[in-house]
């Protein structure tokens, strides 16, 4: 089936407000000079979301958040509600390993957040993946299966179709350590089969599955070409506009193969 590849930039807590605007302006400029046949999402930190949203008006760039609180509203000092971001974001990263580690988000809470953002018309980007220790002791598939099953038992067909699932081996995030592409294909295939078993093959084919972890322009093709991912979630390289757009170009050309 025909899909447009998806490239998501997770800016983490790397940019000042001024730099966030400069980065998105540079991306916009490059998009005026060249055609990039991919869907692009940028995820600034909370204080820059509204300004980045204003800056991308009239462009194909979409804006996402990096997390959200699991409750609609209430006495949660320091937290950010989905309602406060509504109108500014169309995507929201959930279950990123850095958030799971810092805030203890469980698979059940990630699924709850996915349902919450979907109820506000926002598409979840759900990150799953194993630690280095789990990888080394051959527990990848059992970890992934628990994570994916929680999501599948929480979402209906329409919700799942709006959800993007990102396989991010935790040991590959920000480390420069790259997984064997064959292992990534195996995990992606496992996820698709799990979706097919829960729903059907047609739905499993349509759901977007991405790879994330130390992606650079020089290594992205191996995770996309052939039976690879439908796109990538990029952390470190996404705050450098030229690098990010090189990744977008190479993702699009590898996906077209
Ligand atoms: C991420 O933040 O999800 C990520 C994959 O980071 P990096 O590309 O820096 O490994």
pLDDT tens digits along 25-44: 999 999 999 999 999 999 99
Of 99, 126, 129, 214, the one to substitute when testing ligand 1's pocket (max ligand atoms within 8 A of C-beta) is 214
Ligand 1 nearest-atom number relative to CA 166: 3
In-domain check, residue 102: yes
User: How far, in Å, from the CA of 75 to the mean position of ligand 1?
Assistant: 31
For the CA atoms of 179, 182, 186, 187, the dihedral, rounded to the nearest 10 degrees, stands at 20
pLDDT surpasses 90 at 256: no
Tally of domains within the chain = 1
> What tens digit of pLDDT does each residue of 203-255 get?
999 999 999 999 999 999 999 998 889 999 999 999 999 999 999 999 999 99
The Cβ of residue 76 has, within 10 Å, a number of other Cβ atoms equal to 11
Domain of residue 213, residue span: 6-255
In-domain check, residue 28: yes
Does the predicted model carry a pTM greater than 0.85? yes
In-domain check, residue 87: yes
- Which residue's CA is the nearest one to ligand 1's atom 8? 235
User: How far, in Å, from the CA of 235 to the mean position of ligand 1?
Assistant: 3
Query: The CATH number of the domain where 160 resides is what?
Result: 3.20.20.70
| Helix (H), strand (E) at residue 166 | strand 164-167
In-domain check, residue 1: no
What is the per-residue pLDDT for 1? 64
- Look at residue 83 and give its three-state secondary structure: helix
In-domain check, residue 250: yes
Residue numbers annotated as active site: 96, 168
């Amino acid at each position: 089936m025909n899909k447009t590849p998806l490239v998501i930039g997770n800016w983490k807590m790397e940019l000042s407000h001024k730099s966030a605007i400069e980065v998105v302006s540079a991306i916009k400029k490059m998009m005026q000079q060249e055609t990039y046949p991919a869907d692009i999402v940028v995820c600034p930190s909370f204080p820059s979301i509204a300004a980045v949203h204003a800056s991308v008006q009239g462009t194909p760039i979409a804006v996402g958040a990096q997390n959200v609180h699991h409750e609609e509203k209430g006495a949660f000092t320091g937290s950010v509600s989905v309602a406060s971001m509504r109108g500014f974001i169309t995507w929201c990263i959930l279950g990123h390993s850095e958030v799971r580690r810092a805030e203890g988000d469980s698979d059940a809470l990630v699924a709850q957040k996915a349902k919450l953002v979907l109820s506000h018309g926002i598409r979840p980007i759900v990150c799953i993946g194993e630690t280095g220790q789990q990888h080394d002791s051959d527990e990848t598939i059992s970890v992934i299966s628990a994570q994916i099953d929680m999501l599948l038992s929480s979402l209906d067909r329409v919700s799942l179709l709006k959800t993007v699932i990102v396989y991010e081996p935790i040991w590959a995030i920000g480390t420069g350590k790259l997984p064997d592409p064959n292992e990534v294909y195996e995990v992606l295939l496992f996820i698709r089969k799990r979706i097919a078993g829960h729903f059907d093959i047609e739905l499993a084919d349509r759901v977007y599955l991405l790879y994330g972890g130390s992606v650079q322009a020089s290594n992205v093709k191996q995770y996309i070409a052939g039976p690879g991912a439908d796109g990538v979630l990029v952390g470190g390289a996404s705050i450098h506009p030229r690098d990010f757009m090189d990744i977008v170009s190479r993702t699009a050309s590898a996906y077209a193969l």
